[in-house]
Amino acid sequence: MINRRKFLKLSAITAPLIAAKKSIANGLEGTTKPIVVSTWDSGMAVNAAAWKILASKGRALDAVEAGAIFMENEMNCCVGLGGYPDRDGIVTLDSCIMDEHANCGAVAGLERIKHPVSVARKVMENTPHVILVGAGAQQFAVENGFVLESTELSADAKKAYAEWLKKSEYKPVINIENKKANGPFAPNFFDDGTPNHDTMGLVAMDANNNLSGAVTTSGMAFKLHGRVGDSPIIGAGLFVDNEIGAATSSGTGEEVIRICGTHLVVEFMRQGLSPEMACKKAVERIVKRDRKKAKELQVGFLALNKKGQYGAYAIQKGFVFSVKSGFENKIYESKFLIR
């Protein structure tokens, strides 16, 4: 099974990378703008796509959409149509986007559409709604010019799914009316120790000091069909308050949803906490609820405030994030609470 931490070849990135041994709460004086921060080391290439717009004094909203589209175009395990399927062998995509005016749009359980983040933006701009799901989201996408793609799994996804079927002994949709149990469920971690959930979330501030954010994912591999995590939920996987800051998350979405995680991070920043400390407080909220359970899962938060300061915190070691501004282009390891 491929390492979900390395699903982009970083050697393709020409900018210099400096990996820190631990994360920092950068203490830059004044405002660092423009700037974009994103989850995981794969965020370096995502940031580069967003930076093309930010460096030209473009809008943060356009930048985060461009970054998310870049990742959706990559054939990897975790984002886009190349991602791992649910337990019935179907790839379903979740995405959301939010701008500086608290306008937001989202899609969940979307099938056969290459760029869910752009569909989410269409929901935001062309409807009075915030979120569309399943067949309705797909219908809306087609009506707005998006093309239905093939249902065939990518080579990596097909291989991983076949192995999972053997191990779980799951038989999709056979005598479904007679089933007395709902399992097997998706594992929190794979056999190689990597968490089963690598979302691409990014938040940015443009030259006009305005914030926006976007999230895109294929969700938890081998999930129950119809499962939706935190990624498309405003206030869970993403939240933007243009007066205070923005936050995104990656990890076991159910735990983020329970505490309205990114909204909580922004509220902690409103109280005066740094982005890193705000993320830490949110992580502590998850762990306090069920410390035993927390040892068996991963959640990481990433935040950016109006001063251009950023920070992250995770339950366990392993969460990293990427930063691009006029001053730096780096990957940082997040601090963590347990293990």
Residues noted as catalytic: 199
| ∠ CA 93-162-229, rounded to 5° | 25
Rounded to whole angstroms, the Cα distance separating 319 from 337 reads 11
Residue 103's SS3 state is coil
| Angstrom distances, CA of residue 92 to CA of 7, 218, 229 | 19, 6, 12
Rounded to whole angstroms, the Cα distance separating 141 from 194 reads 33
DSSP 279: H
DSSP 330: E
The owner of tokens 């054939």 is 75
Say whether the peptide bond before residue 85 is cis (omega within 30 degrees of 0): no
| Angstrom distances, CA of residue 327 to CA of 151, 206, 259, 273, 330 | 43, 14, 34, 23, 10
Angle between helices 43-54 and 60-73 (to 10 degrees): 140
